Chain A
Amino acid sequence: MAETYDFLFKFLVIGSAGTGKSCLLHQFIENKFKQDSNHTIGVEFGSRVVNVGGKTVKLQIWDTAGQERFRSVTRSYYRGAAGALLVYDITSRETYNSLAAWLTDARTLASPNIVVILCGNKKDLDPEREVTFLEASRFAQENELMFLETSALTGENVEEAFLKCARTILNKIDSGELDPERMGSGIQYGDISLRQLRQPRSAQAVAPQPCGC
């Protein structure tokens, strides 16, 4: 595929096992629910190109295994991420109680400046809810996170979660808070700017211009 983009962001999807991390990723990339869902072994990644605030951004999303036995190996892929989705299951208080540990891992291993959005998944199972919106919203405020409740089944707020995270990163780049060219920022420039970085200005002038005929 020959996609062109302005930026490439590295994202993480982290959280306890069974909260729907892989389904969120699948819903975002394929725009449909992933029915036959096995648990993730180690890490997987997918990507999608989105338009955020006029910029074309490709998101390289690393989906991690939530099982405790894979935690030590998946940690090594945290470094150099620009953003993270921190996922819990609104029908499982245990997954909500583990959020602080996952957040500490992300900020320690990836970067203290990583942009994190808290996702309360399985919003469609509201009758079985064990964590209130208000409670999670307070946790997000206390830890300086963005917060959305999502449903990988219905697709509600799934795309919004990724876009919100990407938009925040773009704002940080514009304000100078984030340096895209720094190693470990989790950001790459796209092919357009890369091509112009590569060639001197005189070569650009020689490039064929669109003909009016």
Chain B
Amino acid sequence: MRGAGPSPRHSPRALRPDPGPAMSFFRRKVKGKEQEKNLDVKSIKASIAVHSPQKSTKNHALLEAAGPSHVAINAISANMDSFSSSRTATLKKQPSHMEAAHFGDLGRSCLDYQTQETKSSLSKTLEQVLRDSVVLPYFLQFMELRRMEHLVKFWLEAESFHSTTWSRIRAHSLNTVKQSSLAEPVSPSKKQETTASFVTESLDRRLGDSSSAPLLLTQSEGTDLSSRTQNTQNHLLLSQECHSTHSLHHEVARTGTHQISTDSQESSSRLAVASRNSCSSPLRELSEKLMKSIEQDAVNTFTKYISPDAAKPIPITEAMRNDIIAKICGEDGQVDPNCFVLAQAVVFSAMEQEHFSEFLRSHHFCKYQIEVLTSGTVYLADILFCESALFYFSEYMEKEDAVNILQFWLAADNFQSQLAAKKGQYDGQEAQNDAMILYDKYFSLQATHPLGFDDVVRLEIESNICREGGPLPNCFTTPLRQAWTTMEKVFLPGFLSSNLYYKYLNDLIHSVRGDEFLGGNVSLAAHGSVCLPEESHSGGSDGSTAQSSVKKASIKILKNFDEAIVVDAASLDPESLYQRTYAGKMSFGRVSDLGQFIRESEPEPDVKKSKGFMFSQAMKKWVQGNTDEL
């Protein structure tokens, strides 16, 4: 018996979905189910909308604030975004690619495949949660219930401070450079444009801060900045007049200092030059304003989260607190942009070890997963990289007799992941031995679990495994991509419309409902509109479950006399059923619903002969008879 009706079952060798009515049928079916799910969780979306706007500003700042330490992360994110957007195009190309059997674009295919890897919306690490604007509100809700939301808020605020401070320091450095070069014969309009653009950039970034104090400061500072820009223009004209008073010797000396000094000395010498040059006083005030805003932000964060008098101090040691104080009130009067980094690491570790596992098991995370699964688009990556979804998908693949494809993908993906994690520092012989195990199992001509890859793929794998120095972490990428495409094109649509997928969603909804009732009155009141539709839905399911359990118990008792005797001691109902069965056995026969006389004593002599077939037949007769009576 098949679970979800007929679905196309293609030989792995073909590796191509059958274009035609079957595929269009599945496409329509999936759409219908998605619409149904959207209706069910409409109220959930309503509650989500309430929370999202509050966090959008802060996350906007996080995304926009690009400090030096985040350049690499942003580059990776940009690449991933571009690959994700081109995913559909890539998938459309793949069938023809496989038909052509060309591997000339293997490099790009690897990148495409690697983009999919480890990217499941349903399964998140703590760092991903903190940077994802969709799941972060759920995490904050969860932490608020545990009275620990200050850890999350501190981490986010410190992260924002770290990014914006680097931006402001860069702006400050540029202004300092400008001051020292005011006397130089450079184009005034070019420098002014550079300064204005940086001031605007810094202003935009700080507008993203969700804290009220920095916002007020930024607004007043904005006014000052715009007026100072005009003053700067006037002073640039004056600087040309001052230029004529400088001697050639002075210019040469300043150039020499610039070339030799280190960063800190350079800054101090520039400040010295600035103090001697009255023409640059407006820019100097602007720089001082920037540095003062950095200090003020640092003091605000310290007062809120780190000070011993704070309403909700984060759990750090006295030594760390003193270290932070030293970095904020440094001897040179400047705030270290990394003053909170160590405290951030401590808070991150505390959140990860004490709270994140519970969050993943909480109904808040289940709500997030429901949102993803009902968003209208579920990818294979969302299933394969999320262990709870994989639990249902693997059962589905087993029912479809395609478990070997999933097994191969899991094993080869794990092999490549652990090899890539070593970054080239691995034992080539050991890796080759591992690869040979997979080859012998899935690719060899004597394979124990052949998948039907063609000779071209097998020869490629052989070449990759026997490479000098051992196989590379991408040595199975071609068959992995083919297995991935097969699962995505052939099996994912069926899974998304199967009973198992429905059961998966039902478990998620059930978890949300159960936790919310346990959460207490406050939580219940907060989510009142969410509970009602889910309650009616889950209530029906529970009722059906109870009824089915009772029926199954009855059937079990009737089928197994030994068990009936055991149960007889515990409950009265089985006893009455047993007696009825025994009473039925006393008669020579009975009249069925259709009026036919059935002789029940006839099989008795055959049963004594102890033949299995006859015994089974007699058992069926008893079961049917009693079922009719019920």
Q: Are B511 and A212 in contact (CB under 8 A)?
A: no
Of the candidates B3, B417, B440, B503, the one whose C-beta lies within 8 Å of that of A189 is B503
Which of B7-15, B233-241, B408-416 has 4 or more CB atoms under 8 Å from chain A? Answer: B408-416
Contact B552 A191 (CB under 8 A): no
Digit string of A103-130 for contact with B (CB within 8 Å is 1, else 0)?
Answer: 0000011010000000000000000000
Report the separation of the CA atoms of residues A111 and B360 in the bound assembly, to the nearest whole angstrom: 11
Q: Are A44 and B421 in contact (CB under 8 A)?
A: no
With A111-B361, A191-B499 given, is the CB distance from A60 to B510 under 8 Å? no
User: Interface with A: B279-287, B325-333, B389-397, which one?
Assistant: B389-397
The minimal Cβ–Cβ distance linking B619 to chain A, given in whole angstroms, is: 14
Q: How far, in whole Å, are A60 and B499 apart by their CA atoms in the complex?
A: 18
A208 CB–B CB distance under 8 Å: no
Within the complex, the shortest CB–CB distance from B542 to chain A, in Å, comes to 9
Among A88-96, A136-144, A148-156, A196-204, the one that faces the other chain is A196-204
Give Cα distance in the complex from A86 to B391, angstroms.
20
Residue of B410, B500, B514 touching A44 (CB-CB under 8 A)? B410
Q: Which of B398, B401, B441, B624 has the most CB of A within 10 A?
A: B398
A80-B388 contact, Cβ under 8 Å, with A43-B410, A54-B563: yes
The reply on B565 being an interface residue by CB < 8 A is no
Q: Choose, from A13-21, A34-42, A157-165, the stretch at the interface.
A: A34-42
When the two chains form their complex, are residues A60 and B506 in contact, meaning their CB atoms are under 8 A apart?
A: no
Closest Cβ–Cβ distance, residue A4 to chain B (whole Å) = 8
Contact A79 B511 (CB under 8 A): no
Contact of A179 among B391, B506, B514 (CB under 8 A): B514
Q: Are B499 and A194 in contact (CB under 8 A)?
A: yes
With contacts A183-B507, A183-B511, A196-B544 taken as known, whether A213 is within 8 angstroms of B596 at the C-beta atoms is yes
Interface size class, chain B = 35 or more
Q: Are A188 and B411 in touch, CB under 8 angstroms?
A: no
User: B residues within 8 A CB of A195?
Assistant: 499
How far in angstroms is the closest Cβ of chain A from B363? 9
- How does the 8 Å CB contact mask read for B54-97 relative to A, with 1 for contact and 0 for none? 00000000000000000000000000000000000000000000
A72 touches B (CB below 8 Å): yes
B414 A73 Cβ-Cβ under 8 A: yes
In the bound assembly, the distance between CA atoms of A108 and B408 in angstroms comes to 28
Q: Does B594 count as interface, using CB distance less than 8 angstroms? A: yes
Q: Given known contacts A70-B418, A74-B414, A212-B593, is B387 in contact with A197 (CB within 8 Å)?
A: no
Instruction: Encode contact with A along B501-522: 1 for CB under 8 Å, 0 otherwise.
Output: 0110011101100100000000
Bound: A1/B544 CA distance, A:
26
Choose among B407, B556, B592 the residue that contacts A212 (Cβ–Cβ < 8 A): B592
Closest to B413 in A: A42
- Does A175 touch B at the CB level, under 8 Å? no
- Please judge, given known A-B contacts A42-B415, A182-B511, A198-B502, whether A60 and B394 are in contact too, CB under 8 Å: yes
Contact flag A2-B510 (CB < 8 Å), given A41-B411, A212-B596: no
Asked if A201 contacts B544 (CB within 8 A), the reply is yes
- CB within 8 A of B440: which of A38, A77, A184, A188? A38
Q: Point out the residue from B412, B414, B422 that lies within 8 Å of A65, measured CB to CB.
A: B414
Shortest Cβ distance from residue A39 to the other chain B in the assembled complex, whole angstroms: 7
Known: A2-B1, A70-B418. A188 touches B503 (CB 8 A): yes
- CB contacts (< 8 Å) of B401 on chain A: these are 1
A21 to chain B: closest CB distance in Å?
15
Q: Residue of B at shortest CB range from A6?
A: B552
Report A32 CB to chain B, min CB distance, Å: 14
Residues of A within 8 A of B511 (CB): 181-184
Contact of B380 with A by CB under 8 A:
no
Please give the distance in Å from A14's CB to the nearest CB on chain B: 14
B627 CB within 8 Å of chain A = yes
Residue of A nearest to B515 (CB): A182
* B403 (CB) vs chain A CBs: closest residue: A45
Say if the beta carbon of B429 comes within 8 Å of chain A.
no
Q: Which partner residue on chain A sits nearest B513 by CB separation?
A: A181
**What distance in Å separates the Cβ of A188 from its nearest Cβ neighbour in chain B?**
6
A54 close to B556 (CB less than 8 A): yes
Contact yes or no, B391 A210, CB < 8 A: no
Instruction: Give the A-binding residues of B (Cβ under 8 A).
Output: 1-3, 357, 360-361, 366, 369, 387-388, 390-392, 394-395, 398-399, 401, 407, 410-415, 417-418, 421-422, 430, 434, 437-438, 440-441, 499-500, 502-503, 506-508, 510-511, 514, 540-541, 544-545, 547-549, 552, 556, 560, 563, 592-594, 596, 598, 624-625, 627-628
For this complex, 13 residue pairs linking A to B, each with C-beta atoms less than 8 Å apart, are: A39-B437, A42-B414, A42-B415, A65-B414, A182-B507, A188-B395, A191-B1, A191-B3, A193-B545, A194-B502, A196-B548, A212-B596, A213-B596
- Which A residues fall within an 8 A CB radius of B? 1-2, 4, 6, 8, 10, 38-39, 41-45, 47, 54, 60, 65, 69-70, 72-74, 76-80, 108-109, 111, 179, 181-184, 186, 188-189, 191-198, 200-201, 209-210, 212-213
Beyond contacts A188-B503, A194-B499, A196-B548: 20 other A-B pairs, Cβ-Cβ < 8 A, are A1-B399, A10-B391, A41-B415, A42-B415, A43-B410, A54-B563, A65-B414, A77-B387, A79-B387, A80-B388, A109-B357, A183-B508, A188-B391, A189-B503, A191-B3, A197-B545, A198-B502, A201-B544, A212-B628, A213-B594
- Interface pairs A-B: 10 shortest CB-CB: A42-B414, A2-B1, A212-B592, A196-B548, A181-B510, A183-B511, A38-B437, A79-B387, A41-B411, A73-B414
